[in-house]
Each structure stands twice: as structure tokens, then as C-alpha cells.
Amino acid sequence: MYALDQLKALLKEELAKQEYVETPYSLYAPIVYILADGGKLIRPMLALIAYNIYRDDIEKVLKPAIGIEIFHNYTLLHDDIMDDAELRRGKPTVHRKWNINVAILSGDAAAITAYKYIGYCDDIYFRRAIDFFNQVAMDVCKGQQFDMEFETRNDVTEAEYLHMISMKTAALLAGGLRHGALIAGAPEDDYTALYEFGLALGMMFQLQDDYLDVYGDTEVFGKKIGGDILENKKTFLLIKALELANPTEKKELEEWLSRKCDKDDKGGKGSESQDKIKAVTEIYTAIGIPALVQAKIDLYVVEAKKACEKINVPPERKRYLYEMMDFIDKREK
Amino acid sequence: MYALDQLKALLKEELAKQEYVETPYSLYAPIVYILADGGKLIRPMLALIAYNIYRDDIEKVLKPAIGIEIFHNYTLLHDDIMDDAELRRGKPTVHRKWNINVAILSGDAAAITAYKYIGYCDDIYFRRAIDFFNQVAMDVCKGQQFDMEFETRNDVTEAEYLHMISMKTAALLAGGLRHGALIAGAPEDDYTALYEFGLALGMMFQLQDDYLDVYGDTEVFGKKIGGDILENKKTFLLIKALELANPTEKKELEEWLSRKCDKDDKGGKGSESQDKIKAVTEIYTAIGIPALVQAKIDLYVVEAKKACEKINVPPERKRYLYEMMDFIDKREK
């Protein structure tokens, strides 16, 4: 078996080849740009890890794994337009660096490239690979639709929120794992368990993301802290806070929610943005939200472990699954 | 064999079922909306016709044909944002009726639905079906990229233009034909010839579209005449006019090109938009552009016929291919 850093090195090497680039280059330049900084590469890494549980000829899963990563970045290109996000991994977003049309069309080209790369597998797996990928891709789309609809609602429930992130975030992590296992010839029970494992992992990942957006360290996390608060984003933290706040806290919270702050505000000391972030964070802390998020994450850790146990291979073949779980549980960026 | 109106009735019946609609409905409402008026349904009809050359169990090609149509409408949703088009088939475009985000995300959902529907075929054809569709989808994307790049150029050559429309328009017509034949079990030589036939048909279709946008009858054509002229769109007509104009005509044409007119201008008598349309049309006519477009279309008719002859089935099985060719050659809408 390959160690995680070996897998990552192989993945980066394959990505650097940019074999997906065709003529006209201008169509692919934004894809090259958004893939250049790499990000955490969690989704393709999960595909590699799942494949490597069953097979060692890891070169056969590199292109499909890159397909998963390209699909992820296609959703980022389009989501960043919808959110009018300014920065992505510290660099200007594509629609701000170029324009909206470029981000739409290069995103479309990225989606097609993803389908092409997903298809690099033996014919016996191809039908399931595409059927599964269609389901995952549509889940991601539906998750984004729910997320957008939540923007204008103040009554989003915890259950609705968890359903939304299971589609928008968790489905693709789960899909990457299932895809890797499928094309390695894993039995159906195994790749289904890996999908369940991935869903739990995805929930942990997104809840941690919500948490770090408020309580993370800007330097380590790599994005501005408090962005979700400024956008009144319906995160797990806000939903639970609205549910559990006492009347005074609730009134104060709703007062802050009614104040629109410019999210591109650089947020120097004394800016209203900084005041809002500070005040809302204090309310969260007073209510005990941090412990609540961690407890929720712990529940998904239990679910992930349960799913992991169902995978019918010797324990040592699963060690990197546990390592990834640990990494996501403890991540600070 | 089914007559064309029988095929169209079956297609409309299947479309009306809206089986592609899932939860949340809001994600699919814009797809239902853009499909509702039907349009000419040329692309799915070609898939049906190609299938019907080989097989009579036409119900097996209905879903894949709808996949082709949904894909076409996905490109319209996104293209209309990029062109900021006001109307589509006489109704407000999705990004104007809803907003840009809705048109992006529902377009994305439509693309995934298209992949799903394309896949309704026997396993032995599935790999080729998806590989071919990936190629066609990417060609359409590249065609749109070239078209956008042409907007800011005044030196687009005829060859570049023909290359662009072969991707943006012709590839999907050709792809629909090839797909229908493939999943009917046609031999490779046949579905390749049908693809070539479709490319020629697509070129005829687009050149006729350019022509009708200037010389068509608003009532019959269903869109405002002169839209391309107001947008300085690099059509076959404009490219040939710039190439063949005498110095006086060229100066006049360039003068008009430099004047920006509001394309949403309702264009009453005496409006600058109407003046521009009238003047540019007169220059085209003086240069002899109409005859030139028709001659170019005739060349593609010859190519289409040549490709059609290569299809190894009795002549009576090809009658609807010839009918479609005739329909596109003579269409006024």
C-alpha cells in the first residue's frame, strides 16, 4: 500500500501534466488557474485510498481521481458566481479575475472533462461508474439549490441543513470513495459501505468548515474568518444558535442578522463588519455552540467508524481511511 | 417506419411526462419552462429518424432523444446569459425571468439530466454512447468559446467561422443522428456516415439561420429580424460582406459597425436600430450576399447527399433523412 504522502505526490504529478487541456487554450486557462493552487485534494485522495485498499496498480485510478477533483472545481467556478465570492484559496475567483461568462463556460467545459476522466476505467465498471456519478453530480446540484434557497429563509431547521450539506458537500466525498473502490473491483457491499463512510466524513468535513469559519485562525485556515457571519449564511452554528438562544440573545442575534455588511469590507479595526463578527461569535460562545458542533461531529465520527467496520478487508488495509477521518476531525485548515 | 409527424407526436408525448423532474422542483422549473414551447425539436427528431432506419421499437430511443434536446436547452440557458439575450422563442429568457444564478444552476442540472437520459441504451452501446456524447458536448462548448472570442475581433475569416459553427451548431445535430443509429445497432460505417450527414445538415441549418436573421419574415421566423446586425455578430453574411465589399461599401459598413445600438430597442420607425438594420441589409444585398449564402448552403446539400449515399440501407429507409434535409434547406423559420 502507498502512504498518504506518496499518493498525494502521484496525484500532483498527474495533475501537473494538464493532459485535460485542449484547443482553444482560453477555454481551459481558468481550469488550470483554479487547479493550480491544488487545495487540499481531499476528494481525489479518497478515490486513491479506496482504490489502493484493493489494488496496487495505482496509475489506473489517477485519471478518474482527477476527474473527481475537476468536477469539484467546476462546482466552485459556478458557486463562486452565485455567491459573488471575491477570493478562493487566497486568489481572485475566476469570475472576478476574468468575467462571469468565462466562469460559466470554463465551468461547463470542466464538467464535461470530469465525465471524460471518470470514464477511464475497465468496461465492466463503466455503466455503474457513470450512473453513480450522475447521481452524485445531481446531488451536488440539488444541495446548491437548497443552499441558495436557504439564503432568503430564517426558519431553516437543523434537519434541512444536514440534508443540504449531505448533498452539497458529502455526496462528492462519498462518490470519490465509491468510485475508487468500484473501479478496483471491490464487491458491492464494500463500495456501498465506503459510500456511507464518505457521507459521514463529508458531514464532519462541512461541520468543521462551518466551525473554522468562525473559530479558526486566519493564518492557518487560509480564508478570512467570519465570512459566513457577514453573509448571514445558514450554517449549523447559526441554525442552532437561533434555536437555542434565550430571548435576549435571540433579539440581539436577529438585530445583527438584519444589518447588512459589505462582505468585501477589508475589516480593519472599528469597521462594522468586525463588530458584527465579534458580537455574533460572542453570542455563539455564550450559547455553547462550539461544544455542540464538536458533539455533532463526534456523532458522525461514530457513523464513519461503523461504516468502516463493514468493509470486508483486513484492518491494516483500512488504516488510511482512519487516518483521513482523523485528519478531517482535527483539521484546522 | 414511422412518418415524421408520428415521430414528433411520440416525442412530444414523452416530453410532456416531464419524468426528468425531481425534488426540489424549483431546480427543474426553468427546464420545464424552456422545454415547454418545444421549439423545432430538430435534434431529437434526428435521433428518432436515425434509430427508425434500423429498428421499429421506437419507444427505446425516446429517452435518449429527449436527452439530446435537454442538452441543447442547457446550452441555450447558459448561452442566453452570455449573450444577455432578452427573448427565446418569443418568451423572456430564464436569466431575465428569474435571474442569472437560476439559469446557471438549472442549466447545470439540465446537463446532468442529459447525461442520464443519453445513457438509456443497451450496455453494449453504453461506452461508445458516453464517449461520443462527451466529444459532442465539448465541441459545443468550444464552439461557444470561439463565438465569444469572435465578438471582439474584426478579422474573423470564413474558414474560422465555418469551423466555429461546425462545433457550436452542427456537432449536436450530427451527434443526435449518430446516437440514434448507434443504439439501434447500426454498423460503425453507417453511424459514422450519419454523423457526417448531420454535420453537413448542421452547417446548412446555421447558414440558413444567419440568412433568416436578416432576410426572414418576423411573423414566420418567430424572432426579431436584424438582431445579428444590431449585435455586430460575426455571421457568414457579415464576414463575406467585409471580405467582398468595395472600398465605399466597406467604409459604410465599418461606420455602421462602430455605432452601438441598444439591442433591446423595440425598433419603431425612425429608431437608430431600424436605420442600422436597413442600411446594413442594403449593403449585403448590393454585394450579392443572399446568393452567396444560398450557394454555400447548396455545397453542404451536396455533402449531405454524399454522406447519405454511404449509408448501407435500402433507399426507402433513408427517405426521412432526405425529407429533413429538404425541410432545413427550405425552412423559413
Q: How confident is the model at residue A217 (pLDDT cuts 50, 70, 90)?
A: confident
Beta strands A91-92 and B91-92, pairing class: unpaired
d(CA A164, CA A202): 12
Placement of cell 433591446 in the chain: B264
Partners of residue A144 in chain B, C-beta under 8 Å: 105
The whole-angstrom distance between A294's CA and the closest CA on chain B is 30
The whole-angstrom separation of Cα B229 and Cα B214 is 8
- Searching chain B, which residue's CA lies closest to the CA of residue A126? B127
Amino acid at B216: G
Q: Find the domain containing A262 and state its range.
A: 20-330
Contacts 24+ apart (CB under 8 A), B28-32: B28/B106, B28/B109, B29/B106, B30/B77, B30/B94, B30/B97, B30/B98, B30/B102, B30/B103, B30/B106, B31/B70, B31/B73, B31/B77, B31/B106, B31/B109, B31/B110, B31/B113
pLDDT at B223: 72
* Maximum Cα interatomic distance, chain A, rounded to a whole number of Å: 62
Task: For the beta carbon of residue A51, count every other beta carbon within 10 angstroms.
Answer: 28
Q: How far is CA B102 from CA A154, A235, B18, B20, B21, in A?
A: 20, 22, 19, 17, 16
CA A312 to chain centre: 27
Least confident of A38-42, A169-173, B260-264, B300-304: B260-264
Judged by CB atoms closer than 8 Å, whether chains meet at A100 and B81 is answered as yes
∠ Cα A296 A299 A305 (to 5°): 145
Percent of chain A with pLDDT over 90: 88
CA angle B130, A166, A48 (to 5 degrees): 55
Interface test with A, best of B134, B140, B146, B153 (most A CBs within 10 A): B134
pLDDT per residue as tens digits for the range B96-149: 999 999 999 999 999 999 999 999 999 999 999 999 999 999 999 999 999 999
Handedness of CA A253, A254, A255, A260 (dihedral sign): positive
User: Residue B259: what are its φ and ψ, rounded to 5°?
Assistant: -90, 120
Q: How confident is the model at residue A39 (pLDDT cuts 50, 70, 90)?
A: confident
A137 to chain B: which residues are within 8 Å by CB?
Answer: 112, 115
Residue A217's CB is within 10 A of a number of other CB atoms, namely 11
User: B-side interface with A, Cβ within 8 Å?
Assistant: 22-24, 26-27, 78, 81-82, 100-101, 104-105, 108-109, 111-113, 115-116, 119, 123, 126-127, 130-131, 134, 137-138, 141-142, 144-146, 148-149
What are the strands, taking DSSP E only, across B233-277?
none
A15 lies in some domain: no
Pick from A24, A127, A141: which is nearest to B123 by CB? A127
What average pLDDT does range B317-324 have in this prediction? 97
Is residue B222 very low, low, confident or very high in pLDDT (cuts 50, 70, 90)?
low
Q: What is the pLDDT of residue B266?
A: 58
**Got the DSSP string for A218-282?**
HHHH-S-TTHHHHTT---HHHHHHHHH--HHHHHHHHHHHHS---TT----TT-HHHHHHHHHHH
Summarize the confidence of residues B237-245 as an average pLDDT. 97
Q: Is A307 within 8 Å of A170 (Cβ atoms)?
A: no
* CA distances for B194 relative to A214, A263, B30, B131, B298, angstroms: 58, 54, 32, 17, 19
What's the pLDDT score for residue A71?
98
pLDDT for the residue B260:
82
- Nearest Cα to Cα of residue B65 among B48, B77, B79: B48
User: For chain B, give me the number of helices (H) and strands (E)?
Assistant: 17, 2
Band of pLDDT at residue A333, cut at 50, 70 and 90: confident
In whole angstroms, how far apart are CA A80 and each of A92, A107, A224, B105? 10, 11, 15, 12
- Average pLDDT for chain A: 94
| Nearest residue of chain A to residue B114 (CA atoms) | A134
N-to-C CA span, chain B: 27
Burial classification of residue B2, based on how many CB atoms lie within 10 Å of its CB (0-12 exposed, 13-18 middle, 19 or more buried): middle
Residues in chain A: 333
The average pLDDT across B67-75 equals: 98
Give the length of chain B: 333
Does residue A37 register a pLDDT over 80? no
Inter-axis angle of helices A289-310 and A319-330, to 10 degrees?
A: 170
The pLDDT of residue A267: 56
C-alpha cell at A178: 465509491
Q: Which positions in chain A touch B70 (Cβ < 8 Å)?
A: none
A108–B141 C-beta distance less than 8 A? yes
pTM of the full structure:
0.96
User: What percent of chain B stands above pLDDT 70?
Assistant: 97
Higher pLDDT, A38 or B245: B245
Q: Give how many domains chain A has, as a whole number.
A: 1
pLDDT of residue B232: 93
Which pLDDT does position A265 carry in this prediction?
Answer: 63
Question: What integer best gives the mean pLDDT of chain B?
Answer: 94
Cis peptide before B24 (omega within 30 of 0): yes
Cell numbers of A164, please?
443540504
pLDDT for A224 equals 78
pLDDT at B333 over 80: no
Chain A residues near any Cβ of chain B (below 8 Å) = 22-24, 26-27, 78, 81-82, 100-101, 104-105, 108-109, 111-113, 115-116, 119, 123, 126-127, 130-131, 134, 137-138, 141-142, 144-146, 148-149
Q: Which of A154, A143, A158, A149 has the alpha carbon at shortest distance from A289?
A: A158
Q: Identify all chain A residues contacting B149, using CB atoms and an 8 Å cutoff.
A: 24, 26
Contact A100, B129 (CB under 8 A): no
Is A4 among the domain residues? no
User: Which comes out higher in pLDDT, residue B271 or A45?
Assistant: A45
Average pLDDT over residues A3-9: 96
> Residue A156 and residue A168: Cα distance in Å, rounded?
16
What Rg value do the Cα atoms of chain B yield, rounded?
20
- pLDDT score for B268: 60
**A110-155 pLDDT per residue, tens:** 999 999 999 999 999 999 999 999 999 999 999 999 999 999 998 9
CATH number at residue A28: 1.10.600.10
Q: Check residue A263 and give its pLDDT.
A: 63
Q: Where are the beta strands (DSSP E) in A16-122?
A: 87-88, 91-92
| A266 falls within a domain | yes
Residues B118 and B143: beta-carbon distance below 8 Å = no
| Mean predicted confidence (pLDDT) in A85-89 | 88
Q: H or E element: which one contains B92? A: strand B91-92
CB contacts of A112 in chain B (<8 Å) are: 134, 137-138, 141
pLDDT tens per residue, range B249-270: 999 999 999 988 766 665 566 6
* Residue A129 C-alpha, separation from nearest chain B C-alpha, in angstroms: 11
DSSP states of B276-318:
HHHHHHHHHHHHTHHHHHHHHHHHHHHHHHHHHHHS-S-GGGG
